[in-house]
């Protein structure tokens, strides 16, 4: 794979690549790594799917082996993805020059992203979209909490032979919180003060999402 250029975590990442099927796996791997550095791993699945669709369209309609560039940029709670190529032909779901499979890909792009569009550049065009990052942070917390509950129930000796109901998981969550408060008190901390901080943090993040 060609060099990935200048990646600045938290700011902007420019990834030149060759539009070929064998290159897409490496492109997705680099994308996952960059999103991990930015703390946005929860949006990796959506981003990888979008990039795969866009890169596949370049292969089909610009040509296998064509030079292309993926640009990633987090901005104001969104992840902007731009895929640049050297063709001036603008894709459209209704265009006769773009087949039904490509049209479905563009409809998928529209459904998954907050916004998307195309722009002509000095050397060709770019197809861009923006994915929400705030829900990604929320999903990260939910996934960590689910993993914590699973481990807590295992340590507590809960049966793993049946899928727990919501009521059972809710009781487990209450037990986790109670145990943490006991631990805080044993360390000389103030459980009420920590609970207040946690509530303020939760309300701020829930409002932002």
| Domain containing residue 78: CATH number | 3.30.565.10
d(CA 196, CA 41): 28
Residue in this structure with the two tokens 């006991």, named with its chain if needed: 182
Q: Which domain holds residue 19?
A: 7-132
Whether residues 115 and 185 fall in one domain: no
pLDDT tens digit string along 50-86? Answer: 999 899 989 988 999 999 999 999 988 889 999 999 9
Candidates 19, 20, 41, 24; CA nearest to 32 is 41
Average pLDDT over residues 190-203: 90
Q: 204: how many CB neighbours lie within 10 A of its CB?
A: 10
| CA–CA distance, 185 with 193 (Å, rounded to integer) | 11
Same domain, 186 and 171: yes
Q: Does residue 148 register a pLDDT over 80?
A: yes
**Co-location of 60 and 140 in the same domain:** no
- Residues 58 and 119 occupy one common structural domain: yes
In a domain, 160, yes or no: yes
37 and 111 inside one domain: yes
Residue 45 pLDDT exceeds 80: yes
Residue 175 has pLDDT above 90, yes or no: yes
Quote the CA–CA distance of 183 and 60 in Å, as a whole number.
59
Q: How many domains is the chain partitioned into structurally? A: 2
């Amino acid at each position: 794979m060609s060099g990935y250029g200048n990646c600045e975590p938290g700011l902007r990442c420019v990834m030149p690549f060759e539009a070929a099927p064998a290159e897409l796996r490496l492109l997705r791997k680099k994308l996952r790594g960059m999103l991990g550095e930015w703390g946005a791993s929860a949006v990796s699945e959506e981003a990888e799917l979008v990039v795969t669709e866009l890169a596949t369209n370049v292969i089909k309609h610009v040509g296998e082996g064509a030079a292309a560039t993926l640009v990633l940029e987090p901005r104001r709670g969104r992840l902007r993805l731009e895929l640049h190529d050297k063709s001036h032909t603008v894709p459209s779901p209704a265009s006769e020059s773009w087949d039904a499979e490509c049209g479905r890909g563009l409809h998928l792009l529209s459904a998954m992203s907050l916004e998307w569009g195309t722009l002509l550049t000095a050397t060709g065009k770019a197809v861009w979209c923006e994915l929400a990052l705030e829900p990604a942070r929320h999903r990260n917390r939910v996934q960590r909490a689910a993993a914590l509950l699973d481990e807590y129930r295992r340590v507590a000796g809960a049966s793993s032979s049946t899928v727990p109901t919501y009521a059972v998981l809710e009781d487990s969550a209450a037990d986790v919180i109670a145990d943490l408060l006991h631990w805080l008190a044993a360390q000389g901390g103030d459980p009420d003060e920590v609970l207040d901080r946690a509530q303020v943090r939760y309300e701020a993040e829930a409002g932002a999402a």
